[in-house]
Structure 1
């Protein structure tokens, strides 16, 4: 039986952003992340999103893309900014 309690999906590797879910204290927690690159590292912000937003991202991005800065900022504006921050830092992801 596969363990699907943790899902992490990178939507774009050029400008790194994506989403996932994990189990925390017995409940599913959904998250989206976006990174600002700096040569070899990224400053990531990971924010909690709703299950509805998680499902919307799955439909909006059915496969990995070769995203650009505009794609990344659009994703960040929609799914990271204004949401509760779970983790933030250089090369820091859940």
Structure 2
């Protein structure tokens, strides 16, 4: 059984992202007959240098402690890809734990 992973962003969603997410939905339907599971991942802010740069460029605060750690996001994706053959997560929203 195969898996496909599609990621989306939680910030401003542009036309390209909307098209990619629609395509993920179509692929999910088409590939199900072939045993391929498609999971769309919606990560919240992830503590990376790039996010810090982007927030700084827009004059927005950046607190890495309020974000998802990259290794945590990776573990959540591995969890989704490791689903047993009888079920899977078609969508996965990953949010930081409340503090």
Task: State the TM-score, normalizing by the size of structure 2.
Answer: 0.24
Larger radius of gyration: 2
- More helix by percentage: 2
TM-score by length of 1: 0.25
